[in-house]
A and B are shown apart, each in its own frame.
Chain A
Amino acid sequence: MERHTSRREFLLAAGGVSAGIGLGAVIVVEPARATPAATQEAIRKMVGSARINPGKVKLELPPLIENGNTVPLAVTVDSPMTEANHVRTIHVFTEKNPQPYVVSFHLGPRAGRAKVATRVRLADSQSVVAICELSDGTFWSDSADVVVTLAACLEGGI
């Protein structure tokens, strides 16, 4: 009886301790997350009070991402890229990465073609937004919803 109780107590205590460690680890590892509201705020900071129209921009991302650490991303804007009508900037934002900002590209009429590509990190299944500013001061956007199987930033430690 005496031995039985002590074993049970030991198991309970051990379980409690490991659960505590697990919980603690989750709290420590969990990075700060941008929220859709924070993303909207970041976008507002970048574009000011201007209206953001849908269209003209095409954001290309694979719909299903196996590894969030390296995700190919391409943005194409329907623009003739002339002195009078060209793309000034292209910004990319995410909703659930630790920060909403991803990248800003500055182009001009000398780009010839409004197409840029890079590789990004995505921390979770989320929607990614690309916003471009044309030389006439208008803003256009496109968004893509992606599913991320292995998230970036979650490798336990080094």
Chain B
Amino acid sequence: MASALINVPARAKRGEVIEIKTLISHPMETGFRRTQVGALIPRDIIRGFVCTYNGSEVFRAELHPAIAANPFIVFSTVATESGTLVFHWTGDNGFSVTESAAISVE
């Protein structure tokens, strides 16, 4: 089971720009590598990442095989209101992981 690490500040001032760092464990098999007997290793990557803030999308990324194993993504958003940030990764072979983080805005 994939495990994700998320770094979101627990508290922020209203209107402040906060930086969010996410890391998820995944081999990101490119589909271009071969085994020693020459058989192609099928592609197994994370294709998409979405971050929603209280239900509205604030950031989205499309990933390709050129992203390193264990995809690490850093982005930012404006702290508008207290609530939850939901992070969703989707990929090949039905890969789907959802994590959330709470933020309190004063």
A and B bound?
Answer: yes
B101 on the interface (CB 8 Å rule)? no
A106 and B59 form a contact (CB under 8 A): yes
B5 on the interface (CB 8 Å rule)? no
In chain B, positions 27-45 with a C-beta closer than 8 Å to chain A are 30, 32-36, 38, 41
B2 on the interface (CB 8 Å rule)? no
A117-158 interface bits toward B, Cβ cutoff 8 Å, 1 = contact, 0 = none: 111111000000000000000000000000000001101111
B66 and A121 form a contact (CB under 8 A): yes
A155 to B33, CA, bound (A): 8
In chain B, positions 45-86 with a C-beta closer than 8 Å to chain A are 53, 56-69, 71-78, 80
Q: B interface, by DSSP: helix, strand, loop or mixed?
A: strand
A44 to B16, CA, bound (A): 36
- Specify which chain B residues have a CB less than 8 angstroms from the CB of A117 in the assembled complex: 72-75
A103 and B33 form a contact (CB under 8 A): no
Identity of the chain B residue whose Cβ is nearest the Cβ of A128 in the assembled complex: B66
Q: Choose one: A29, A71, A155; the contact of B68 (CB below 8 Å).
A: A71
Task: Give B39 Cβ to nearest chain A Cβ, in Å.
Answer: 9
Task: Give B66 Cβ to nearest chain A Cβ, in Å.
Answer: 4
A147 to B20, CA, bound (A): 30
A3 to B36, CA, bound (A): 37
Query: Which bucket holds chain B's interface residue count?
Result: 20 to 34
Binds B, one of A14-22, A47-55, A92-100: A92-100
Query: Which bucket holds chain A's interface residue count?
Result: 35 or more
Q: Choose one: A74, A99, A110; the contact of B66 (CB below 8 Å).
A: A99
A98 and B59 form a contact (CB under 8 A): no
- Specify which chain B residues have a CB less than 8 angstroms from the CB of A119 in the assembled complex: 67-68, 71-72
B1-40 interface bits toward A, Cβ cutoff 8 Å, 1 = contact, 0 = none: 0000000000000000110000000000010111110100
Q: Choose one: B33, B53, B75; the contact of A157 (CB below 8 Å).
A: B33
A104 and B75 form a contact (CB under 8 A): no
16 other contacts beyond A105-B75, A158-B35, with CB at 8 A cut-off?
A69-B68, A97-B66, A98-B32, A105-B60, A106-B60, A106-B61, A107-B59, A108-B57, A110-B77, A111-B58, A118-B73, A119-B71, A153-B30, A155-B33, A157-B35, A158-B41
Q: Which residues of A are in contact with B by a Cβ distance under 8 Å?
A: 28-29, 31-32, 69-71, 74, 94, 97-99, 101-108, 110-113, 115-122, 152-153, 155-158
Instruction: Pick the 4 closest A-B CB pairs, nearest first.
Output: A112-B17, A117-B74, A157-B36, A112-B78
